[in-house]
Amino acid sequence: MIKKLLIANRGEIAVRVAKTAREMGIETVGLYSTPDRDSLHVRSCDVAVHLPGESPASTYLNADLIIENTLRIGADAIHPGYGFLSENADFADKVKSAGLSFIGPSPYAIRTMGSKLESKELVKSINIPTLSSIDVTGLSGNELSNRVKDFTFPILIKASMGGGGRGMRIVENIDDMEQAVESASREAKSAFGDGTVFIEPYLTRPRHIEIQIFADTHGNVISLFERECSIQRRHQKIVEESPSPRVDEALRYEMGEAAVKIAKSVEYLGAGTVEFLLDNSNKFYFLEMNTRLQVEHPVTEFVTGLDLVRLQLEVAAGMSISHINVSKPLGHAIEARLYAEDPLNDYLPTGGEIELFEVPGNLVRIDTGYESKDTVPLSYDPMIAKIISYATSRDEASMKLSLALKKSIIAGFKTNRELLVRILEHDEFMNGDTDTGFLVRNTPNTLIREPSKSALNISLVAATLAEVAQNNLSRKKIPTIPSGFRNLLSQPHTKRYEYNGFDYEISYYLNASSQLDSVGVNGELLDVMVDGILSPSAVTLVIDGIRLETTTFISDTRIDVSSIYGNFAFMRVPRFVEPGLAQLPGSLVAPMPGTVTKVAVAQGDTVSKGDIILAIEAMKMEHSIYAPYDGIVASIYVSEKSQVSSNEVLAVIEESEKHEV
């Protein structure tokens, strides 16, 4: 049996593995890069080893350094989690050569199934349907056009290695192919160390169904049923559930048998997932096999009653799975991935310090690598947590998850919480009628509704009173003078906040006992009173006869207010604006901190609206910056591999003069 386990990963999966290992009496060893020094996964392990450096390449992807430290600290096994080195066959080879146990399949299985191109050929040979595909790595011009001439657009470009939606692009026409291939290959190279990309047909409105399989050293391979993963943004799953509302018992059996057949073809061992696309006529096509534990494994754990990490560790120690006898999914589980990103701004990563993070654990399971006051670094994936609900019915599981998200408190930066709630409450999802194009048809701008006037007003009042309470605690008190005293008692006190591009002025009166006499928003008097709690961190209000508890967090520039109505981040509008450095007209600024991966133009170049100017990578995703209009590149302030900060000016485009015809 394994006695000391090194977890070669970070974040929530490292915390998750450490939890089960601890329950089994296995000592755990964590790893951490310099930015992760104070992370939750470090605190969750018995001991932790520092990997000097900040980039993934020098730390969590440094196979030799990880193995060296495993041997040095006396661990006898390595669990790779998911991502990083989890599907790196060379790493698995090195682990075994060092006399250590690798918690995963054989290097042969990883290598064979790790390449989407090679795995498709194997699966074809055992008579399981796949989509046609062609390697287009490094192709351009006529050569690329000739390769794709037999395909009907739209076409999907995919990275051969890795996953998580990285290195994937949908291309609508031939004119966009060359740039898309180049960008996808560059992103794949950065994320997985391999820039191989291929194309395949892009099915319209398919469902993404995957089968969890498990195999042991005694020849047993079983299917643990399906997960529906059709709700995706940028080809990355954000809502997953089991069982699928589309899959009946007969289809479940057929897909499970296909997945088991694929696993047996590579003498698989441990946890693995076989992914399929399911079309409208219930025909399924092999996509890929993930030779590791999946991010969404908790939904399978709920509907089977199994601990998949425990099974991984037991199978690695030679135990049999012949005793497992789960005939069908029990109940229903749904998982939502909470990300540090702004869905209304092209899903750009946000990140930074989590001022406050609370999820009602009585409703759901929370798998996370973060707590309040932890920092979400921009070097890694922006997922903050997985929030998973379970119930006897799909409707109840959905409602529990939606309520838990509504009652969650996340202060410090924007997240996709509101988007997740709107997805769960959307008719298509509630009816089980979703597909991979759901967030293409239903964009965040259409899903995320503006808050109701009453929700916004009560949150603005809560922010104002929290700030008043903080001022009252910090001021040097003269007992006979009320908080916020002013000589001209007939005039109200005022606060100004900015929210979603609009300014709001809150005017209020306090009586001699520092109690609220009246309050208004933008001149409209409100029926509001404080009901008990008034502090910098919580305000309870009654507005129009409705009592509401709010949680507030005050920072230097903003006030976060959380309640059942949602999370609001109000930026303080200073009474007197300090003069700053004005940006030149046409300035293109960095939407987030990151690394410049491509500069496509030079100073003096003529560009057209929509031309790519440069690309920035953050949290392992590449984001392109485009010309806002026809013009000339007046200045370029960065070069490839430059590190840039949020709102830093990258280039200036001088707009072309418009001449009358």
**Domain CATH for 16:** 3.40.50.20
**Domain CATH for 468:** 3.30.700.30
Closest CA to 286 of 104, 137, 165, 133: 133
Overall domain count for the chain: 5
Token pair 């560059």 is found at: 186
pLDDT at 404: 97
Q: What are phi and psi of 549, to 5 degrees?
A: -95, 130
SS3 call for 596: strand
Q: What are phi and psi of 227, to 5 degrees?
A: -125, 135
Global pTM reads 0.86
Instruction: Give residue 382's region: left, alpha or beta (phi > 0; psi -120 to 50).
Output: alpha
For residue 387, the cross-strand partners are: 336, 366
- Alpha-carbon distance values, 499 to 278, 407, 580, 656 (Å): 42, 21, 21, 34
Answer whether the bond into residue 479 is a cis peptide, omega within 30°: no
Do 346 and 425 lie in a common domain? yes
Contact (CB, 8 A) for 568 and 560 = yes
**Domain CATH for 181:** 3.30.1490.20
| Domain-located, residue 127 | no
Closest CA to 188 of 161, 157, 210, 164: 161
Q: What is the mean pLDDT of the chain?
A: 91
Nearest 5°: CA angle at 333, between 327 and 339?
A: 140
Displacement of CA 282 from its chain's centroid (Å): 29
Backbone Cα Rg of the chain: 27
| Domain-located, residue 112 | no
Do 431 and 383 lie in a common domain? yes
pLDDT at 661: 38
Do 215 and 177 lie in a common domain? no
Residue 302: Cβ-neighbour burial (10 angstroms; 0-12, 13-18, 19+): buried
pLDDT at 595: 87
CA distance 586 to 637: 13
pLDDT at 489: 53
Contact (CB, 8 A) for 511 and 493 = no
Do 424 and 385 lie in a common domain? yes
For the chain, the residue count is 661
Do 372 and 233 lie in a common domain? yes
| Domain-located, residue 124 | no
Answer whether the bond into residue 349 is a cis peptide, omega within 30°: no
Divide the 661 residues of the chain into consecutive groups of 10 and give the mean pLDDT of each group. Answer: 96 98 98 96 98 92 98 98 95 98 98 91 95 89 86 89 80 90 88 86 91 97 98 94 98 98 98 96 95 98 98 97 95 97 89 91 96 90 96 98 95 93 97 95 93 91 92 66 53 88 89 76 91 90 88 90 91 67 73 86 92 83 86 93 84 73 38
pLDDT at 202: 85
Final residue belonging to a domain, choices 84, 103, 122: 103
CA distance 428 to 230: 12
DSSP-assigned letter for residue 192: H
| Domain-located, residue 420 | yes
| Domain-located, residue 400 | yes
| Domain-located, residue 110 | no
For residue 208, the cross-strand partners are: 277
| Domain-located, residue 264 | yes
- For the annotated catalytic residues, the residue numbers are 292
CA distance 270 to 542: 55
Contact (CB, 8 A) for 402 and 387 = no
Closest CA to 114 of 196, 235, 220, 59: 196
pLDDT at 486: 53
Do 426 and 363 lie in a common domain? yes
**Domain CATH for 415:** 3.30.470.20
Do 219 and 366 lie in a common domain? yes
Do 408 and 498 lie in a common domain? no
Token pair 């009586």 is found at: 511
Final residue belonging to a domain, choices 537, 572, 607: 572
Do 183 and 94 lie in a common domain? no
CA distance 234 to 622: 11
Q: Which domain covers residue 246, as residue numbers?
A: 207-447
Final residue belonging to a domain, choices 405, 432, 447: 447
CA distance 163 to 151: 23
Do 276 and 408 lie in a common domain? yes
| Domain-located, residue 120 | no
**Domain CATH for 641:** 2.40.50.100
Tell me whether strands 155-159 and 197-201 are parallel, antiparallel or unpaired.
Answer: antiparallel
pLDDT at 479: 54
Do 316 and 427 lie in a common domain? yes
- Strands annotated E in 394-537: 409-411, 493-499, 502-510, 516-521, 524-526, 528-534
Q: What are phi and psi of 636, to 5 degrees?
A: -125, 120
The secondary element (H helix, E strand) that includes residue 440 is: helix 438-441
CA distance 111 to 108: 5
Contact (CB, 8 A) for 49 and 38 = no
Do 195 and 217 lie in a common domain? no
Buried-exposed string 200-236: b where 16+ CB fall within 10 A, e elsewhere = bbbbeebbbbbbbbbbbeeeebbbbbbbbbbbbbebb
CA distance 364 to 403: 10
